[in-house]
């Protein structure tokens, strides 16, 4: 198993290199191009682009929520109901990716999230997304965060 950590300081925005594990030498369910396309949809606050990155049966698990796994949104419509209000409430929210990993149908992105809420609250935290893909679409996006406090 081999993968190389990449940081935002080491690679240009559009480096499509394939520093991935050996299981990715065959047709892959996920590529760096797919990860970057998803990141670009988040950067544009493009809810349609985000939602369409998920499989019909895809699931997004937000880090915060009433359960030990946070809050789960299953299916495209449920996922949409999370992201539309997020962008409406924090128009300047952004994720700056710091590293990416791919192995087989799994991927990890690490990032720094910043936002200013409508009430003026500033948010800044580190986090990561653990992805599972099928046929180039997200079947699971599980988010973890470190919130100062």
Please tell me the predicted confidence (pLDDT) of residue 27. Answer: 62
Buried b (16+ CB within 10 A) or exposed e, 72-111: ebebbeebbebbeeebeebeebebebbbbbbbbbbbbbbb
Report the SS3 class of residue 78.
helix
Residues in the chain: 149
**How far apart are alpha carbons 131 and 34 in whole angstroms?**
12
Please tell me the predicted confidence (pLDDT) of residue 147. Answer: 82
Per-residue pLDDT of the chain (149 residues; tens, 9 = 90+): 444 444 343 444 444 444 445 444 456 799 999 999 999 999 999 999 999 999 999 999 999 999 999 999 999 999 999 999 999 988 899 999 999 999 999 999 999 999 998 899 999 999 999 999 999 999 999 999 998 77
Please tell me the predicted confidence (pLDDT) of residue 21. Answer: 58
Q: Measure CA of the first residue to CA of the last residue in the chain; give whole Å.
A: 37
Please tell me the predicted confidence (pLDDT) of residue 16. Answer: 43
């Amino acid at each position: 198993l081999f993968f190389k950590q990449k940081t935002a300081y080491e690679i240009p925005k559009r480096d499509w290199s394939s520093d991935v594990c050996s299981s990715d030498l065959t047709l892959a369910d996920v590529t760096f191009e797919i990860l970057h396309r998803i990141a670009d949809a988040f950067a544009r606050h493009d809810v349609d682009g985000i939602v369409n990155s998920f499989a019909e049966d895809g699931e997004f698990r937000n880090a915060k929520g009433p359960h030990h796994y946070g809050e789960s949104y299953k299916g495209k419509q449920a996922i949409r109901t999370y992201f539309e209000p997020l962008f409406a409430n924090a128009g300047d929210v952004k994720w700056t990716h710091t590293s990416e990993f791919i192995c087989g149908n799994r991927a990890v992105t690490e990032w720094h999230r910043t936002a200013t809420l409508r009430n003026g609250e500033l948010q800044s935290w580190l986090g990561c997304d653990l992805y599972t893909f099928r046929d180039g679409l997200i079947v699971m996006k599980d988010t973890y965060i470190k919130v100062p406090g």
